[in-house]
Structure 1
Amino acid sequence: MDQRISFVTLAVRDVAVARRFYVDGLGWRPGVEAPGVVMIPVGERVMLSLWDESEFEAEVGPVRRGSGLAPITLAHNVASPEAVDGVLETARRAGADPVTDGVTRAWGGYTGYFGDPDGYRWEVAWAPGELTERLVP
């Protein structure tokens, strides 16, 4: 098996709400839209799939519910700490909740977080040195 990821799929309660957040709010462009799903290119050969939760469950299996957060974050790396603050402000204007301000982390980077309409957490990060060179176009 090749070492790569082709899709990151998020089961969402309402595809239209998720689409409004990502497309209208964050300004992303969908690549494929079909009933119950919006697929957004997020990298070279990588798609973010926003999939209707009931259709997700019918194909993959039941979604667990409970308190706390899903034990996953998605990350969007940028070229500077100022860019972190700018993306967090864009997320705020798009209706993200919660949004945590950017802070300098013990490992030397600068990051903040926002939640999408289904509670998935996105980290917006600037990483010093080689990581930025590898992750930011």
Structure 2
Amino acid sequence: MHRTTVRTITRTGALAAAVAALGLVGGCGLLGESWDVRMEVTGPGTAQVGTKFAGEPDLSADGQGRQSATLPFSESRNVGFGFNDLAVEDAAPGTVCRIFVNDELRSEHPVDQAGSAWCDANNQERE
């Protein structure tokens, strides 16, 4: 193989790797848009609460990753694009979950008769 061909292939491979890396970094909010996400659970007593902010692993369906929280509960992060989820279990009647994105209410749900609620919000880039 000719040296010019080898250099071209090497440069093309390096460029492709750089473009892929920028795409991954952009998804974390380091490049591109970012959002201030606040999750809240209000109500009496305590509840099992699980949070998943954009860029984090999904919440498990079997309840793992939830922690006992004294209400009211609030947690905030600045994140890139993606899905945000808030799970509430074992909560008293009147308990409500909420997700705010850039101080705008995006999701609000009271607990059902079983004491469970789920809120979610998706951050998306504007084109």
Query: Does the TM-score normalized on the shorter chain lie above 0.5?
Result: no
* Structure with greater proportional strand content: 2
- TM-score, length of structure 2 as denominator length: 0.27
- TM-score, length of structure 1 as denominator length: 0.26
Between the two structures, name the one with larger relative contact order (CA 8 Å, sep ≥ 6): 2
Greater Cα radius of gyration, structure 1 or 2: 2
